[in-house]
Amino acid sequence: MSLNLRQAQSLSIGELAGVSSVDLVNLQREANESLRKAKVLKDWVEGAITLKYDHQIKALRQQLGKETGTVHFDDEGVRVTSDLPKKPVWDQSMLSEIAQRIADSGDNPAEFLDITYKVAERKYTAWPENLRAVFEPARTLKTGKPTFRLSIAEEQ
């Protein structure tokens, strides 16, 4: 008998880990399909909410002179809240030039700017050993959360 998601929810993770590999493959597929359907439905509902309230929100923002941030209004006893966050994008080459001008004037650019240095891992691994050795003390390798994909062997 094959296990379904509803049945799997009644098991502890330890018990679930003890089921057959084929059941785990099927549960993973079912969970992924449920998640996909839920995301489609969520997008559908949020699209309807946007269609219903977008005009009112834009008018309210204009009335309040508030291009970004949070605004509220009530509709038939329902509090409608819209948040439009600021997402500034800074031109990196221009900021670099500004930082250089600040440094040239004798000030510390770090007092005005958050400066971040990054090295692309692809570039790092392509460098010759002597160049990597210079950067090695500044490098810490961290890992993310492991992921697993299960499939039936014949499907590969």
DSSP state string for 55-101? HHHHHHHHHHT-SSEEEEEEETTEEEEEEE-------HHHHHHHHHH
Q: How many CA atoms lie within 13 A of 19 on its CB side?
A: 20
Return the pLDDT at 150. 67
**Distance separating alpha carbons of residues 121 and 138, to the nearest angstrom:** 13
**What phi and psi values does residue 81 have, to the nearest 5 degrees?**
-120, 130
Total domains in the chain come to: 2
- Per residue in 54-89, pLDDT (tens digit) is 999 999 999 999 999 999 999 999 999 999 999 988
Domain final residue pick, 85, 111, 128: 85
35-56: average pLDDT: 96
Residue 127 and residue 63 in one domain = no
From 69, 85, 101, give the residue that closes a domain: 85
The verdict on 53 and 114 lying in the same domain is: no
Q: Give a yes or no: residue 145 inside a domain.
A: no
Per-residue pLDDT tens over the stretch 84-141: 999 988 998 999 999 999 999 999 999 999 988 899 999 999 999 999 999 999 999 8
Distance from C-alpha of 110 to C-alpha of 92, rounded to nearest angstrom: 15
Would you say residue 153 lies in a domain? no
Inside any domain, residue 21: yes
The domain in which residue 111 lies consists of 92-138
Same domain for 71 and 14 = yes
